Amino acid sequence: MIEKFYYKIHYKTPYRKALFIVAYRMINNNIKYLILKRKLHWKGWEFPKGGVELFETKKMGVKREIVEETSLTPKIITNHKTCGKYDYKKNLPDRPYKGQSYQLYSVELEQGSVKVDHREHSSYLWLPYEKAIKKLTWSNQKECLKIVNNSLVN
């Protein structure tokens, strides 16, 4: 019964409700951004992201995704009120959606060691803005990083 309800709500739209999460940390009064090396479905660099689960608020989803993908705790969560959507480059059996519609958040992370979810990512880097923007694979994530960086430095 729950599975049918979940299916109707989530698969009714061709786009999965998702979160883009620009994670950062202040290190010696400098902002460093966390980017993850993706290995599931495609290879490249991204920041943490994920879907909003059934009965979950977006803020709850941000907290859950950060813990799942980094094992770190968010200290400050900011909703940047920026949305977008994109189509997946290829259809995969575990992706019943055409793509994702996302909302942009940023999180300042607590100190501690990153432990990536090795099913999705193989490694991570803490980089200053200039290096992170060059390393990110997708242009929509580069735009999101610009938005977050501008809000932090201004």
The pLDDT tens digits for 14-49 are 888 899 999 999 989 999 999 999 886 667 999 999
Given a cut of 60, whether residue 9 has pLDDT beyond it is: no
Of the candidates 67, 65, 72, the residue with the CA atom closest to the CA atom of residue 113: 72
Q: What is the pLDDT of residue 52?
A: 92
Q: What is the pLDDT of residue 99?
A: 80
Residue boundaries of the structural domains of the chain: 14-153
The highest-level CATH class for domain 14-153 is: alpha beta
Q: How far apart are CA 69 and CA 51, in angstroms?
A: 12
Q: What is the pLDDT of residue 145?
A: 98
Q: What is the pLDDT of residue 39?
A: 80
Residues 6 or more apart whose Cβ sits within 8 Å of residue 37: 43, 44, 45, 121, 122, 123, 124, 125
pLDDT in tens, 80-128: 999 998 777 766 666 667 788 899 999 999 889 999 887 788 899 999 9
Q: What is the pLDDT of residue 1?
A: 46
Can you give the three-state secondary structure of 85-108, one letter per residue? Answer: EEECCCCCCCCCCCEEEEEEEEEE
Q: What is the pTM of this model?
A: 0.84
